[in-house]
């Protein structure tokens, strides 16, 4: 895996990886917080955690032939107050919608993602953060 980060101006960068898809990474300087044109590095890490575990949950539920219709993740993170201001806690709420969803299947998919498959959550945990999760199941019509 490779990535490139190119400075644009101020604390703005264009970044891309092996996919060759670019994204603006923006770290607003004091007094310019409202002028952001892209997420910051820690936002990208949190988004990466969410996307990683979400893809695992979809994959696991599909293997179980679950009729998943919607999956939303809401992530809330806390960071240390001193530099390097690493994540200390992350809570992930999963909203899972589908037909005939079983509590056990959803809970197992989330647990397997956290414990076995998700590289991003495991990297953050090994960095010292605590990750908690909750979920709600919505019966789809």
Per-residue model confidence (pLDDT) at position 28: 80
Q: What whole-number distance in Å separates Cα of residue 58 and Cα of residue 94? A: 11
Residue ranges per domain, the chain? 3-35, 41-139
Q: Is 137 exposed, middle or buried (0-12, 13-18, 19+ CB in 10 A)?
A: middle
The CATH-assigned architecture of domain 41-139 is 2-Layer Sandwich (3.30)
Q: Taking residues 107-121, what's their average pLDDT?
A: 96
Each residue's pLDDT tens digit, 54-78: 999 999 999 999 989 999 999 999 9
Each residue's pLDDT tens digit, 28-38: 877 766 778 89
pTM (2 decimals)?
Answer: 0.90
Closest CA to 92 of 53, 60, 66, 129: 53
Per-residue model confidence (pLDDT) at position 32: 67
């Amino acid at each position: 895996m490779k990535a490139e980060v190119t400075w644009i101006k101020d604390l703005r960068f264009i970044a891309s990886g092996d996919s060759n898809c670019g994204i603006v990474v923006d770290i607003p300087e004091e007094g310019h917080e409202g002028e952001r044109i892209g997420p910051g590095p820690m936002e990208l890490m949190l988004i990466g955690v969410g996307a990683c575990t979400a893809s695992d949950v979809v994959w696991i539920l599909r293997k179980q032939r679950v009729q998943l219709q919607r999956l939303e993740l809401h992530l809330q993170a806390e960071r240390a107050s001193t530099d390097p201001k690493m994540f200390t806690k992350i809570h992930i709420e999963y909203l899972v919608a589908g037909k005939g969803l079983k509590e056990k299947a959803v809970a197992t998919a989330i647990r397997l993602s956290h414990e076995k498959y998700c590289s991003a959550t495991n990297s953050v945990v090994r960095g010292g953060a605590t990750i908690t999760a909750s979920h709600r199941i919505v019966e789809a019509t």
